[in-house]
């Protein structure tokens, strides 16, 4: 059972949609079966201590579905509940889903929208991140794909960013952001000269979907529309491959090369220019089609390494 809003899927903005609306628009109609749904009321045992309201699904929806006729497991984070942050139940649901993926060798699609771990459930949340990564790697090691979709308000930060880094494919829109430390944390710790968290153009240049795509931190770049995410997900599901030691070695090498290649650059625009992209300053304003054309042949790719 889903609760897709009245907005027809073509007009829905992924960024603006709820987790349920995204999920409903992504999968084949009528195929989603929720596991540990809201009616089971598996809510956070911690939030009440802080006088915070719970959400029946604890901001994490998990279940089975089909995309393009292919059976998958799927998880979606609600970015507007507690900033999409991981808590005990929230994390456990994703851990369980990934373990099921390993047992059943089903591919997993994860709709990320998270600021990291909930402060109120810090220990449980951090443990959950670790368990999720282990389960994710376990699923990939038997050949299941784990595809991450990033394009929501909270982005994919903190522990979520680390989990995303373990996925087999990442799909991002321009609104999506991927990182570990958030802008405010960087500014607080390193000073405003290093990173001005009020400079939103800088935030998106540094952590946004376009930049990630250009430096191999995301594999597919899409419009802010469910149809675009769906098309990219179908492409990603077809890729196959499994995680082994050779993948890790290749990725390590890629990251070392990348660091060496761009270590002198101090801003994303310089990185893009170093990639050989002409008129790099215009990148943030380009529409999807023009952006993909500008990126083609220049962007860093992680394909051999994922």
Partner 1 sequence: MSGWNAQNDARAERIAAAGRYAAGKVVAPDVLVDFLHCVIRPGDRVCIEGDNQKQADALAAALAAVDPARVRDLHMVQSGIILPEHLDVFDKGIARRLDYSFSGPQSGRIARLLAAGKIELGAIHTYLELLARYVIDLTPQVALIAAVSADRQGNLYTGPNTESTPTIVEATSFKGGLVVAQVAQVVERVPRVDIPGDQVHFLVETGKPFHVEPLFTRDPAAITETQVLIAMMVIKGLYMPYGVRRLNHGIGFNTAAIELLLPTYGGQLGLKGRICTHWALNPHPTLIPAIEAGWVEQIHCFGSEVGMEDYVAARPDVFFTGPDGSLRSNRTLCQTAGLYACDMFIGSTLQIDLQGHSSTVTPSRIAGFGGAPNMGSDPHGRRHASDAWLEAGAQADPATPAPMRRGRKLVVQIGETFGERNQPLFVERLEAVELAERLGLKLAPIMVYADDVTHVVTEEGIANLLLCRGADEREQALRGIAGYTGLGRQRDPKMVEGLRQRGIILRPEDLGIDPLDADRSLLAARSMKDLVLASGGLYRPPGRFRNW
Partner 2 sequence: MERMAYRLTAPHPAGGTRRQAIVGVVASGNLEVLVERALPPDVCSVEVATSVRGFGPVWEAVVADFVARRAAGGLRIAINDSGARPDTVTLRLAQAVRLICAEEP
Return residues touching partner 1 (CB under 8 A).
5-8, 11, 13, 15-16, 174-175, 198-201, 204, 208, 284-285
What percent of the chain is helix, strand and coil (3-state, nearest 5)?
Answer: 45, 15, 40
| Residue 7 contacts partner 2 per CB under 8 A | no
| Residue 184 contacts partner 2 per CB under 8 A | no
**Chosen residue from 12, 27, 54, 139 binding partner 2 by CB under 8 A:** 54
State the nearest-atom distance from the C-beta of 175 to partner 2, in Å: 18
The interface partner of residue 175, options being partner 2, partner 1, none and the CB cut-off 5 to 8 Å by kind, is partner 1
Instruction: Give the whole-angstrom CA distance, residue 238 versus residue 247.
Output: 18
The interface partner of residue 30, options being partner 2, partner 1, none and the CB cut-off 5 to 8 Å by kind, is partner 2
The token duo for 198 is 């009020």
The interface partner of residue 80, options being partner 2, partner 1, none and the CB cut-off 5 to 8 Å by kind, is partner 2
Instruction: Give the whole-angstrom CA distance, residue 170 versus residue 239.
Output: 12
The interface partner of residue 38, options being partner 2, partner 1, none and the CB cut-off 5 to 8 Å by kind, is partner 2
CA-based radius of gyration for the chain: 19
Strands 33-35 and 70-77: unpaired
The interface partner of residue 53, options being partner 1, partner 2, none and the CB cut-off 5 to 8 Å by kind, is partner 2
**Chosen residue from 13, 28, 55, 284 binding partner 2 by CB under 8 A:** 55
Burial status of residue 43 (CB atoms within 10 A of its CB: 0-12, 13-18, 19 or more): middle
User: What region, left, alpha or beta, does residue 168 occupy, with left being phi > 0 and alpha being psi -120 to 50 degrees?
Assistant: alpha
DSSP 300: B
The interface partner of residue 200, options being partner 2, partner 1, none and the CB cut-off 5 to 8 Å by kind, is partner 1
Q: What is the DSSP string of 135-189?
A: HHHHHHHTT--EEEEE-SSS-B-THHHHHHHTSSEEEEETT-BB-SS-HHHHHHH
The token duo for 301 is 């790719």
Beta-carbon contacts of 288 under 8 Å, excluding residues fewer than 6 positions away, are 174, 221, 222, 223, 228
User: How many chain residues interact with partner 2 (CB under 8 A)?
Assistant: 20
| Residue 293 contacts partner 2 per CB under 8 A | no
Q: Which is nearer to partner 1, 127 or 197 (CB)?
A: 197
Q: Which is nearer to partner 1, 8 or 69 (CB)?
A: 8
State the nearest-atom distance from the C-beta of 152 to partner 2, in Å: 12
Length reported for the chain: 306
State the nearest-atom distance from the C-beta of 207 to partner 2, in Å: 23
The interface partner of residue 289, options being partner 2, partner 1, none and the CB cut-off 5 to 8 Å by kind, is none
State the nearest-atom distance from the C-beta of 201 to partner 1, in Å: 6
Binding site for partner 2 (CB under 8 A): 1, 3, 18, 20, 29-30, 37-39, 41, 48, 51-56, 78, 80-81
């Amino acid at each position: 059972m889903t609760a897709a809003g009245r907005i027809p899927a073509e007009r829905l903005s992924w960024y603006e949609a709820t987790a349920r609306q995204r999920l409903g628009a992504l999968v084949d109609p009528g195929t989603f079966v929720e596991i540990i749904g809201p009616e089971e009321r598996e809510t956070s045992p911690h939030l009440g201590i802080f006088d915070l309201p719970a959400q029946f699904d604890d901001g994490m929806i998990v279940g089975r579905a089909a995309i393009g006729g292919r059976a998958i497991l799927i998880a979606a984070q609600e970015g507007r509940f507690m900033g999409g942050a991981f808590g005990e139940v929230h994390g456990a649901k994703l851990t369980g889903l990934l373990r099921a993926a390993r047992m059943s060798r089903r591919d997993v699609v994860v709709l990320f929208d998270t600021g990291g771990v909930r402060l109120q459930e810090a220990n449980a949340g951090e443990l959950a991140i670790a368990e999720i990564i282990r389960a994710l790697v376990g699923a990939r090691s038997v050949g299941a794909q784990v595809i991450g979709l990033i394009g929501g308000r909270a982005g994919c930060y903190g522990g979520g960013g680390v989990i995303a880094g373990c996925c087999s494919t990442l799909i991002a829109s321009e609104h999506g952001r991927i990182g570990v430390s958030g802008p405010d944390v960087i500014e607080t710790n390193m000073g405003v000269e290093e990173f001005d968290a009020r400079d939103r153009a800088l935030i998106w240049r540094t952590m946004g979907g376009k930049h990630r795509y250009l430096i191999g931190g995301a594999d597919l770049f899409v419009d802010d529309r469910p149809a675009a995410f769906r098309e990219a997900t179908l492409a990603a599901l077809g890729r196959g491959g499994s995680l082994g030691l050779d993948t890790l070695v290749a990725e390590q090498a890629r990251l070392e090369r990348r660091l060496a290649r761009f270590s002198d650059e101090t801003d994303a625009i310089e990185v893009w220019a170093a990639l050989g992209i002409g008129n790099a300053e215009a990148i943030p304003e380009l529409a999807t089609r023009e952006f993909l054309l500008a990126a083609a042949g220049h962007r860093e790719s992680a394909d051999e390494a994922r």
